Amino acid sequence: MTEQPTEDVPRSAVAAIFVRHPLWEDALALLFGTALVALGIAFYAHAGLITGGTVGIAFLANYLGGWPFGLLFCLINLPFYLLGIWRLGWGFTLRTGCAVLLVSLLAEATPHWVTFAHLSSLYATLFGGAAMGLGLLMLFRHRASLGGVNILALFVQERFGLRAGWVQMGIDGCIVLAAVFIVAPDKVLLSVLGALVLNLVLAINHRTDRYVGVS
């Protein structure tokens, strides 16, 4: 007979499922997760939208100077690897470095694979935000991220117990609002909605009391 949890055991401890992922699962999660993020980036770039995190910073620099998004994204993330190594370990940081490199490459390649004859800005906002949120969720569950704000949000969650989705939502909101000087006001409003969708995906699904992946 299965022993029933007693009232002395916290529900969160009972609910948490600790799963150790084999290497091949981590590799597939990195590939599929970054592909989803790159697809969301393609939607946003075509619609002239902005998002948060280091992706958003790279978007702003791309809109301002026309430099390649992939190169900017790689360079912006470099300083955050030190925080990742210090607080989250070499394994997490190496997987994050691979994810950042894959997104940089796929973000440059996806527009050559997928083109849009017509794309509604609202649809790009909702679907692009959801795609990036799902991609990040896959990376988070396999102990990886897209660097930058993702590393900071995961650190805050592990150190202080605040949900990574809510932490990232606050930072992303500041980045998106800063875009008012670069992007048209209607695009900024849509971008705020997209940031909300992206981070709601994380806030609802990335909870340590429900699922903890170990890689």
Among 132, 196, 209, smallest CA distance to 163 is for: 209
**Domain span including residue 141:** 37-214
From CA 103, how far away is CA 164, in angstroms rounded? 20
Q: How many domains does the chain have?
A: 1
Write out pLDDT tens, residues 115-133: 999 999 999 999 999 999 9
Is 127 within a domain? Answer: yes
Write out pLDDT tens, residues 12-27: 444 445 567 778 888 8
Higher pLDDT, 104 or 83: 104
Higher pLDDT, 150 or 16: 150
Is 16 within a domain? Answer: no
Under 8 Å between Cβ of 37 and 29: no
Is 8 within a domain? Answer: no
Is 20 within a domain? Answer: no
Work out the pLDDT band at 11, boundaries 50, 70, 90: very low
Is 76 within a domain? Answer: yes
From CA 53, how far away is CA 55, in angstroms rounded? 5
pLDDT at 215: 62
From CA 33, how far away is CA 15, in angstroms rounded? 25
> pLDDT over 90 for what percent of the chain?
33
Mean pLDDT over all residues of the chain?
83
pTM above 0.85, yes or no: no
